[in-house]
A and B are shown apart, each in its own frame.
Chain A
Amino acid sequence: KQEVTQIPAALSVPEGENLVLNCSFTDSAIYNLQWFRQDPGKGLTSLLLIQSSQREQTSGRLNASLDKSSGRSTLYIAASQPGDSATYLCAGDTGGGNKLTFGTGTQLKVEL
């Protein structure tokens, strides 16, 4: 059974800091990997998708990478802002039409 761990579980940083969120899968055969953010009381918003043929994706201040040999992904957030405060979730599938398995989430707070 695929299990996904996200480290750290919670993080508080001052505005402007660069930070890294980590995600690891017990089954390293990840096909597609996706990072989401969830604001309190809201649904999930897709941030980045790393497809099977890719190793990283960038969108604005966000960069996600995937090491398929180890089953680990990182989300890098540059120059953090208070508006980045949210819970960040990673999710992956093992291809073949299999379901997405979610990580436990990292709760981020960016303080002024």
Chain B
Amino acid sequence: GAGVSQSPSNKVTEKGKDVELRCDPISGHTALYWYRQSLGQGLEFLIYFQGNSAPDKSGLPSDRFSAERTGGSVSTLTIQRTQQEDSAVYLCASSSTLTSEAFFGQGTRLTVV
């Protein structure tokens, strides 16, 4: 596809369940970001992948959160034992080393009930 694709677009889950959010970056982009945006709030950085370097995980809020990027392309953000405070829109972005311009997907709206 031409842009960053995220799936699902919406996810409702019960408290305590695990969820997986998927991000397909733009082909050829080496950098991939995950951010979280709670209702009415700014963007909260979660994790950053750049090529083959070790990811910057400094923004992950707890050890219930993890992410991986397979083959330098698709990324999955996993939240274990979800809590109500995890409810937010999770945004993914990718960029190339040539221009550094970041492009965002439409996000996954996660609701924990």
Q: Which residues of A contact B (CB under 8 A)?
A: 31-32, 34, 36, 42-46, 49, 51, 89, 91, 93, 97, 99-105
Contacts and interface: CB of A to CB of B under 8 A. Distances in A.
A51 B102 CA distance: 12
Contacts of B35: 102
Given A99-B33, A102-B35, 14 more contacts: A31-B100, A32-B100, A34-B101, A42-B106, A43-B91, A43-B105, A43-B107, A45-B104, A91-B102, A100-B93, A100-B102, A102-B43, A102-B45, A104-B42
Contacts of A105: 42
Contacts of A43: 91, 104-107
Interface in B97-113: 97, 99-107
B65 interface: no
Nearest to B47: A99
Interface of B: 31, 33, 35, 42-43, 45, 48, 50-51, 53, 56, 91, 93, 97, 99-107
B48 A99 contact: yes
15 contacts: A31-B100, A34-B101, A43-B91, A43-B105, A46-B101, A46-B102, A46-B103, A49-B99, A49-B100, A91-B102, A97-B31, A97-B51, A100-B33, A100-B93, A103-B42
B42 A102 contact: yes
Contacts of A89: 42-43
A64 to B, nearest CB: 13
A103 B103 CA distance: 16
B56 A93 contact: no
Contacts of A104: 42
A85 to B, nearest CB: 16
Contacts of B93: 44, 100
A104 B37 CA distance: 11
